[in-house]
Amino acid sequence: MIRFKLNKPFWVAYFLVFLVLLGIQQEGFSAEKIYGEGTPFAYTNAQNLSEKLTVGHFEKTGQMHYSRFAPGVIKLKDGRVLVFGGQQDTHSADFRIGEKRPMRAEIYDPKTGQYSLTGDVAVGRVDYGYDLLKDGRVIIAGGQIGMKTLSEIEVYDPKSEKFSVVAQLRVPRKGPNVKTLPNGKVLIIGGNMYEKTAELFDPETNKIELLKSEMSEWRRIVNAIVLGDGRVFVCGASHFAPVTDIFDYRDLKFKPVAPMLDNRLSTMIVQLTTGEVLIAGGLLNLDPTKPTYFKTIYTSLIYNPKNNEWRYSKSLIKLPAAEGNSVLLDNGKVLIGGVGDKIPYLKPEFTSLQLYDPKMDTIEALGYMKVRYYNPKFIKLNNGNVLIVGKSTDKNTAFDTEIYVPN
């Protein structure tokens, strides 16, 4: 008789996955549905799907001056879009090592559909956090150069077109989440392994303080969004603990709320017009002994801040979606875009595009984008159209950007 001897880490991983699946099944989903039933669409059909969008269409727009992998993209107060940072080399196994960082930033003008060069970033970096300040400037914090984690905080001023280092984080952070609060101050959270701390930056005085209150659990990859009442909703995978926190800017405290129904990362997050929060798709780690062993999740979660309750969307993600972006359209629907389920996800095959309707609680597959992006950024322009910016894996479209027109 052949006997198999399984080590302890294996049984721990098996037990954790079993608990996650049990929770899903109690909500009416089977194991096949959370992970998907194989490949939902053949990759050979991707081009046909993208050419037959049932809702909206693509329009080609201007080319960037630099090919950028995981850039910072943010809409300025005047409606133009700032694109900065990132890196140019996608051929290395780890994009954080030996990368070529474009120092020059550029601005997209929706009126002309063209990009123009602006100032140089003060610090060339990847894996940073950023947000728009109340006064119209842009804050950039943390990040990484090679294997060095950064603490520099710099600010871009659209009037002078200059980037300037204004402060240093108390804790160097790679991959932090940066959120501007209603009072104008900036919350900087997460980043790093085992980091539960947060910092508060005052753009008027350029002073930074390490907050006494901490997140309930550390998060290397942080999902955060400012709710309608100004509080900050924080979630994301945390060492197999699906914890959720809300930060109140009035008392500067994190408070744990109802945990997620599963523990996912690399999700798309957006607040709906109802005030609820949509957590779409993402990845689930199937084996804690293998940090890079992920599987695409086909479900979406919805959190209600009013009653502090989670629920699963009745509709499943139709196309693999992780390491992407989402944006709330003017019609109240949510455009979701993410990399297909080729794992490791540094080599995406196609970028999926789908539409979530909150009223019907349904997700419609629109197809795959014509340009193969990694981690595309969606920016809703003032006219309601969506600018799509990201690093293409095809050298022939490396500088291309697109406009998605909803109607």
Neighbour tally for 149: CB within 10 Å: 19
| Contact predicate 227/305, CB 8 Å | yes
More confident residue, 147 or 380: 380
pLDDT for 126 equals 85
Tracing tokens 């901490």 back to the chain, one arrives at 214
The reported pLDDT for the residue numbered 160 is 97
Residue with tokens 């979530």: 356
Give kind and range of the element (H or E) at residue 32.
helix 31-35
Judged by DSSP in three states, 384 sits in coil
Return d(Cα 11, Cα 7) in angstroms, integer.
7
Q: 99-134 pLDDT, tens per residue?
A: 456 789 999 999 999 999 999 999 988 889 999 999
Domain ranges of the chain: 121-259
CB 218 within 8 A of CB 245: no
Q: How far is CA 167 from the centre of its chain?
A: 25
pLDDT over 50 at 17, yes or no: no
Strand partners, 257: 244
Task: List the one residue out of 180, 90, 73 whose CA is nearest residue 128.
Answer: 73
Q: Phi, psi (5° rounding) for residue 397?
A: -125, 25
- Record: fold of 121-259: Neuraminidase (2.120.10)
CB neighbour burial string for 328-355, b if at least 16 within 10 angstroms, e if fewer: bbeeebbbbbbbbbebebbebebbbbbb
Under 8 Å between Cβ of 149 and 172: yes
Cα–Cα distance, 198 to 186 (Å, whole number): 10
Query: Is a pLDDT exceeding 60 seen at residue 23?
Result: no
Cα first-last separation, the chain:
65
Report the mean per-residue pLDDT for the chain. Answer: 80
**326, 42 contact by CB (below 8 A):** no
In the three-class reduction of DSSP (H, G, I as helix; E, B as strand; rest coil), residue 14 is classed as helix
